Amino acid sequence: MMRPIPVICDCDPGHDDAMMLLLCQASPRIRILAVTTSCGNQTIEKTTYNALRVCTLLGIRAPVAKGSPKPLFGQPITAPNIHGQSGLDGPNLPEPAVPLSPLTAVELMAQTLRQSDEPVTILSTGPMTNTAALLLAHPELKPKIAGISLMGGGIAHGNWTPAAEFNVLVDPEAADLVFRSGLPITMAGLDVTLKALITETDIRRIESISGEVARVVAQWMEFFYAFHKSIGYAGAPLHDAVAAAWLIRPELFVTQQMFVRVETQGDYCRGATIGARPGRTDQSYAPNARCILDLDRQGFVDLVCEAVASYGGAT
């Protein structure tokens, strides 16, 4: 039996962030040590409230801490068009029955790393503000970070602007710092996450699973899909869940080592992730990230459904 991977989940729930937490909590391959929140899909107050509600629903008992209300520079950008006014619209959720940590996100991350007897993976599925602030404030803790599995960016294109993906666009300076950190990075960008679709057929399958968690997830997916359907998608792209699924079932994914940098300037390219495959450019562009480019979609959907079913419960 392999030892579970200890993770800090840094997120901005968010429907797909909630599914990231669900996959982690359901998997014996993962041990959640802490949950920290970033401002992204909604304000920090709302994403933190959502994190507490999701942890309550899923039985996650790791400490939850609130992150920065703003990116390192500039003002927050939110996504009510996709995630609703609450940041997690759709079904009713339980009120938080888990406390908010008195620590800030960065303090909780630092304490978690210090107290762990093995290096910890940061699973980042929102803007990377907290992780960047951690690296700036506590460079001595870098050896305690096993790596960063992140949802962000896109080598081929963006989603919020033609060039930039949302998580990177909200805080490009933070993402730049993370990609330059020298830590092992796995990037689940739009190249793969737009293929991680939950279709209407998949939603019907989730609906047929018994229990409260399945009921909530089916309604989350209905809400999340409604927006994506209106812009022509064949399903709801479960972006953030890919960064968790990579840790749980890496054999489902196709990856390539690349040189990746974040563009922090420009009228059209701020927040873009620029990627170079080895051999196509000179050696000064040495790979610094493993980019996930493709997946076995059916295997991914099966993993999601198995995780939902593992919560069991009455119909």
Q: Which residues bind ligand BDR (CB under 6 A)?
A: 14, 16-17, 41, 79, 82, 125-126, 151, 159, 165-167, 239-240
Do residues 28 and 3 make contact, with C-beta atoms less than 8 angstroms apart?
Answer: no
Phi, psi of 93 (to 5 degrees): -120, 155
Q: How far is the CB of 71 from ligand BDR (least distance, A)?
A: 14
Do residues 257 and 276 make contact, with C-beta atoms less than 8 angstroms apart?
Answer: no
The option from ligand BDR, Ca ion, none interacting with 82 (CB < 5 to 8 A, set by class) reads ligand BDR
The option from Ca ion, ligand BDR, none interacting with 165 (CB < 5 to 8 A, set by class) reads ligand BDR
The option from ligand BDR, Ca ion, none interacting with 66 (CB < 5 to 8 A, set by class) reads none
Q: How far is the CB of 150 from Ca ion (least distance, A)?
A: 10
Do residues 225 and 198 make contact, with C-beta atoms less than 8 angstroms apart?
Answer: yes
Q: How far is the CB of 52 from Ca ion (least distance, A)?
A: 16
- Pick between residue 21 and residue 209 the one whose CB is nearest to Ca ion: 21
Based on the residue annotation, tell me whether 15 is a catalytic residue of this protein. no
Position among 67, 90, 126, 154 found at the interface with Ca ion (CB under 5 A): 126
- Pick between residue 246 and residue 259 the one whose CB is nearest to Ca ion: 246
Do residues 312 and 210 make contact, with C-beta atoms less than 8 angstroms apart?
Answer: yes
Q: How far is the CB of 280 from ligand BDR (least distance, A)?
A: 26
- Pick between residue 6 and residue 126 the one whose CB is nearest to ligand BDR: 126
* DSSP-derived 3-state class of residue 1: coil
The window from 28-36, 52-60, 232-240, 270-278 that contacts Ca ion (CB under 5 A) reads 232-240
| Sign of the dihedral through C-alpha 245, 47, 260, 119 | negative
Q: How far is the CB of 194 from ligand BDR (least distance, A)?
A: 9
Do residues 171 and 133 make contact, with C-beta atoms less than 8 angstroms apart?
Answer: no
Do residues 126 and 17 make contact, with C-beta atoms less than 8 angstroms apart?
Answer: yes
Beta-sheet strands, E only, within 75-221: 100-104, 120-124, 145-151, 185-188, 197-198
**Rule CB under 5 A: is residue 186 a binding residue for Ca ion?**
no
Q: How many residues bind Ca ion (CB under 5 A)?
A: 6
Name the amino acid, one letter, at 159.
Answer: N
Helix (H) or strand (E) holding 31: strand 30-37
In the region spanning residues 8 to 37, those forming contacts with Ca ion, defined by CB under 5 A, are 12, 14, 17
In the region spanning residues 194 to 223, those forming contacts with Ca ion, defined by CB under 5 A, are none
> CB atoms < 10 A from the CB of 182, how many?
9
DSSP string, 142-185: GGGEEEEEEE---SS--SSSSSB-HHHHH-HHHHHHHHTS-S-E
Q: How far is the CB of 238 from ligand BDR (least distance, A)?
A: 9
The window from 108-116, 190-198, 237-245, 271-279 that contacts Ca ion (CB under 5 A) reads 237-245
Active site residues: 239
Q: Which residues bind Ca ion (CB under 5 A)?
A: 12, 14, 17, 125-126, 240
